[in-house]
Homo-oligomer: A and B are copies of this chain.
Amino acid sequence: MRIKDFGGEFALIDDITRKAKDARVIVGVGDDCAVLDYGAGKYLLWGVDMLCEGDHFRNDWYTPRQIGAKAMESNVSDIAAMGGLPSGALISIALTAETTVEWVEEFYAGMYSVADKYKFDILGGDTTHSIIQTVSITVLGEVEPDNLCLRSGAKPGDLVCATGDLGKSKAGLELLLAKTEGDASGHLQPKCRLAEAQVIAPYANSMIDVSDGLASEVGHICRMSGVGAKIVEENIPISENTRKTAEKLGHNPIDYALHGGEDYELVFTLSSENLKKITLNCPLTVVGEITSKKDVLIESAAGLKPLKGGFNHFA
């Protein structure tokens, strides 16, 4: 059976997942990172992401430096969303025979720029050959147990919040696909919210980063927490640039925010009292609330309807 007909990658992941036997595994499959208590006081966070030429990046859109930086930001974002800080990374990379040394140097310069900014080391990896460029980055991080933020901690009554603005990566992607002039930096040069996550983590009940769109991320939090949510469409933070791009291309910017992904903003839930204790150096928007009823809904001018979806690589 094709993966598509099986229900896509998330159904497949459910199918192949087994429960961890090691009692030191705090979280296995199902969050942004695995969480391990190996007895060092802090918990280890451990994640991995793979990017394939064609599917995740194109050399006619990105400079190699941008590819390296984005690959690393997306990995650090997973650590950030758990409340932790990155400690080190390993890089496995498959290069084509046509790949130049200069490409690799620039790609690494992009990765090092992110590693330097967030103060961690690239500790090695595996370099090999393939017919397309493929990179897989694995990052180890550490988190104080008290600051650990899981997808599974959302409580009814929590406010659902988002950092920054959403849909900007999808807006950039659509500009590039349409070969239309405009600011595609949201797609080409995303930044994760590591510093902000450190401020949020002590107060949040749940947190996730925006890899696959707001709809997907809120769905993950609700499913893992056994709760529902009501998102208010008009509250979703969307930048003027994203709105202009959508208008120019005849799209709905709300769709960019809900289903676009790769924004690497944070979506988190917390009590209204705890919200008052947080001050961020970026916009913070309340986009909805967690409900005890398990439906995930979105409220718009057209009324209340189910909120579904998110990006699926095998749709």
Contact = CB atoms under 8 A, between A and B. Distances in A.
Interface of A: 1-4, 6, 9, 12-13, 15-18, 20-22, 25, 28-31, 33-34, 36, 38-42, 44, 46-50, 52, 54-56, 87-88, 90-95, 97-102, 104-105, 108, 112, 119-132, 134, 136, 138, 140, 142, 313-314
Nearest to A138: B138
23 contacts: A3-B95, A3-B97, A9-B127, A15-B105, A18-B112, A20-B123, A22-B88, A25-B123, A31-B124, A36-B87, A36-B88, A38-B87, A44-B44, A49-B92, A50-B92, A50-B126, A50-B136, A52-B94, A52-B128, A52-B130, A90-B138, A129-B313, A131-B132
Nearest to A5: B101
Nearest to A78: B126
Most buried by B among A17, A93, A136: A136
Given A28-B124, A100-B1, A34 B134 contact: no
A271 B56 CA distance: 51
A314 B101 CA distance: 12
B101 A22 contact: no
Given A3-B99, A20-B123, A47-B90, 10 more contacts: A21-B119, A22-B87, A22-B121, A38-B40, A46-B123, A48-B136, A54-B130, A55-B129, A90-B138, A130-B132
